[in-house]
Amino acid sequence: MSDYFRLFNEIGIIGQLSRALLEARLPPGFVAAQFSVLNHLVRVRDGSTPLDIAQAFQVPKNSMTHSLHVLEREGLIEIRKNPQDGRSKLVYITDKGRMFREDVIGALAPDIARIAAAFPPDFVARLLPDLETLRRFLDADRDVPK
């Protein structure tokens, strides 16, 4: 097995395990994909179109629409008309959505503390730049015609 496949295999397993950990801390009725939308709106850009968000997550627009409806129904996001284009809408995280996100992050604190006890800060500090570089490459590469 090539080292590159092993790398992606490990990332996939870590993704699966971390998603399960996150979902165990979410309130009933929520899934990691919905939390990820809130996190995206805070981390990347508030005021994106549903299509932009779907493309960022590489999911069909109708799948994203379902997640957005759940978040809107719970008051965690607002979907507003786009003032520049009346045919499209823009998604904004609400104060309740920001608080929800912070509460979930807080619920993860004991899990993060266990991880921190096993992996010292210098290990994480060395690992993060390389992972961020790989993520940036993969993010840019998905838009390159193959």
Q: Give the pLDDT confidence score for residue 144 in this predicted structure.
A: 79
Phi and psi at residue 82, to the nearest 5°: -80, 120
Chunked mean pLDDT (size 10), the chain, 146 residues: 92 96 96 96 91 93 94 97 90 98 97 96 96 92 81
- The whole-angstrom separation of Cα 123 and Cα 29 is 35
Q: Give the pLDDT confidence score for residue 31 in this predicted structure.
A: 94
- The whole-angstrom separation of Cα 124 and Cα 122 is 5
**pLDDT tens, residue by residue, 88-124:** 999 999 999 999 999 999 999 999 999 999 999 999 9
Instruction: Map out the domains of the chain with their CATH numbers.
Output: 3-107 (1.10.10.10)
Which residues are within 8 A (CB) of 63 and not within 5 positions of it... i.e. 6 or more apart?
A: 54
Q: Give the pLDDT confidence score for residue 145 in this predicted structure.
A: 79
Comparing C-alpha atoms, which of 5, 86, 121, 95 is closest to residue 42?
A: 95
pTM above 0.85, yes or no: yes
Maximum CA extent, the chain: 52
- The whole-angstrom separation of Cα 92 and Cα 102 is 16
